[in-house]
Amino acid sequence: MGVTREMWCLSALYSAGTHEAREAHEPVVLSHMGFMRLVSQMGLSEFTRGDPIFADEAVLRDTYRPDDLIGRDEELADYQDAIQPVFNNAPPLNVFLYGQTGVGKTAATRLILDRIEADQAKFDDLQVHAVEVNCKSCRSSYQVAVDLVNQFRSKDEEISSTGYPSGKVYSLLWEHLNALDATHCLIVLDEIDSIGSDDDILYELPRANDNGHVDDPLIGVIGISNDFTFRDNLSGRVKDSLCEEELHFPPYDAEQLRLILEHRVEQAFHDDVVDYEVIPLAAAFAAAESGSARQALKLMYKAGKLARKRGLEEVTETLVREAKSLIEEGRVKDELESLPTQSQLTLYTLLQLEAEGETPCKRKQIYERYRLIAKMADADIVTDRTIHDRLSHLRLKGFVEHDERNEGKAGGSYYLYELGLQRDVVEDALRENSRVSELFGEKEAEPTLDDF
């Protein structure tokens, strides 16, 4: 049996006194310093080696690179087809790869790059150079261009992300590319949606050969995004140049997630630690919510960590349910904190309509209520189109769900929207984190536009 925290504290206090005091069972009076030292030690136990739950927990982390992707045969075959011109020594096709978060876009790209690296060695007249940039922290095409330039430079020669005119950064980039000893250069721009509407680089790079900036090597761009609105909003000239091949990775279903999890759990956990019903449950949860392999893996990892923390011998269904709530709370909290104000207001609008029993409802109704709420919050009132984009974005994050209705020729088709999370989860997070928190106190009476 383990020593409880209370027992440990008592024994620490007890042993801190004098021998006589202990013998006489007298209360021990500690100096302030002694007390502070004890308080700072409370709860810490000795680190030991060994883990009764995990055999190799790194297998469940996002940084782990799987050797193979389960349930992606068709998508990988399409991906390889798109790359095939490179092996025929033709100019590469520019590829736009999109799909929701956690569906294997980055993992597939890494496998493809590994494959290219291994197979090109068989051809004397082929030398493919790959550059991979994660654009997550890039807010503009300019910053992506700076990142790319720095990919070709040593640490001490890197250029700063401010201070150079954009024309100069591009010309440095063309210089580096022209200097490459390669027949082809594939440039992977992952999470490219971070650049927002400034998509200049997505025109410049795919056109670098045609526009005479780079003669040799032949340039191919692979743009990756999980933001569907970004794809829809790409400018016409970018769509023409970047999206020569569009690849879509759909969300995984419960069966695919089950297979993915089974494979990883076998390596990550010790034998007989994971209850047999746990994997299908975790797969079903992740399939219902997002179809994301990342989410399914995270759920198993969290459940395993809960078991380890509590000194349990098994990862049970109950732990998976608990892990799910904890992850959801954490995710909602984190993501709500970073949502732009207009998205928070959209969410607040849905929250209110839901509380009134008005959901699922049409976008028109959401927009009408949103206008009142934005006015109350003293925020800009954006267009119906922007709110539509915000709703799509919130849907991607799993905060909102929609259902398509079709009323034939007369009514046409439309979507009905509702919250994708429990009301109290959203409400708690909005109250605590968001700028709309003040609205909660104010809105007992039903406002109309006449109130303003």
Binding site for ligand ATP (CB under 6 A): 62, 64, 66, 69-72, 99, 101-107, 191, 226, 260, 293-294, 297
Contact (Cβ atoms closer than 8 angstroms) between residue 145 and residue 187: no
Q: What is the number of the residue whose Cβ is closest to ligand ATP?
A: 104
Q: Which is nearer to ligand ATP, 74 or 424 (CB)?
A: 74
Minimum gap (Å) between residue 7 Cβ and ligand ATP? 41
- The residues with which 220 forms a beta bridge, in sequence order, are 186
b/e burial code for range 64-92 (CB count within 10 A of at least 16 → b): eebeebbbbeebbebbeebbebbbeeeeb
Minimum gap (Å) between residue 70 Cβ and Mg ion? 17
Which of ligand ATP, Mg ion, none does 226 bind, CB closer than 5 to 8 A by kind? ligand ATP
Minimum gap (Å) between residue 72 Cβ and ligand ATP? 5
Per-residue binding letters, 164-203, with Mg ion (x by CB under 5 A):
----------------------------------------
**Residue 109 lies near Mg ion (rule: CB under 5 A):** no
Kindly indicate which of the ranges 37-45, 101-109, 150-158, 374-382 contains the residues binding Mg ion, using the contact rule CB under 5 A: 101-109
Kindly indicate which of the ranges 102-110, 230-238, 339-347, 349-357 contains the residues binding Mg ion, using the contact rule CB under 5 A: 102-110
Q: Which is nearer to ligand ATP, 68 or 380 (CB)?
A: 68
Q: Does residue 321 sit in helix, strand or coil?
A: helix
Minimum gap (Å) between residue 429 Cβ and Mg ion? 25
Contact (Cβ atoms closer than 8 angstroms) between residue 129 and residue 217: yes
Kindly indicate which of the ranges 100-108, 121-129, 161-169, 214-222 contains the residues binding Mg ion, using the contact rule CB under 5 A: 100-108
Size of the site for Mg ion (CB under 5 A): 1
Instruction: Name the nearest CA neighbour of 188 among 100, 139, 128.
Output: 128
Count CB neighbours of 179 within 10 A. 9
Instruction: Name the nearest CA neighbour of 112 among 153, 75, 143, 165.
Output: 75
Minimum gap (Å) between residue 224 Cβ and Mg ion? 6
Which of ligand ATP, Mg ion, none does 436 bind, CB closer than 5 to 8 A by kind? none
- Do the bridges between strand 400-406 and strand 413-419 make them parallel or antiparallel, or are there none, so unpaired? antiparallel
Sign of CA pseudo-dihedral 420, 424, 427, 429: negative
Minimum gap (Å) between residue 382 Cβ and ligand ATP? 26
Q: Which is nearer to ligand ATP, 191 or 354 (CB)?
A: 191
The token pair at 131 is 């550059």
Which of ligand ATP, Mg ion, none does 107 bind, CB closer than 5 to 8 A by kind? ligand ATP
Minimum gap (Å) between residue 422 Cβ and ligand ATP? 23
Which of ligand ATP, Mg ion, none does 218 bind, CB closer than 5 to 8 A by kind? none
Number of Cα atoms under 13 Å in the Cβ half of residue 284: 8
Rounded distance, CA 346 to CA 334, Å?
17
**Residue 295 lies near Mg ion (rule: CB under 5 A):** no
Which of ligand ATP, Mg ion, none does 290 bind, CB closer than 5 to 8 A by kind? none
Q: Which is nearer to ligand ATP, 64 or 87 (CB)?
A: 64
Q: Which is nearer to Mg ion, 106 or 143 (CB)?
A: 106
**Residue 106 lies near Mg ion (rule: CB under 5 A):** yes
Minimum gap (Å) between residue 205 Cβ and ligand ATP? 20
Alpha carbon of 183 to those of 79, 129, 146, 150, 378: distances in Å?
20, 8, 23, 21, 57
**Residue 316 lies near Mg ion (rule: CB under 5 A):** no
Alpha carbon of 269 to those of 107, 275, 299: distances in Å?
22, 11, 14
∠ Cα 75 141 137 (to 5°): 75
Q: At residue 443, what are phi and psi to the nearest 5 degrees?
A: -100, 60
Q: Which is nearer to ligand ATP, 70 or 400 (CB)?
A: 70
Rounded distance, CA 70 to CA 90, Å?
30
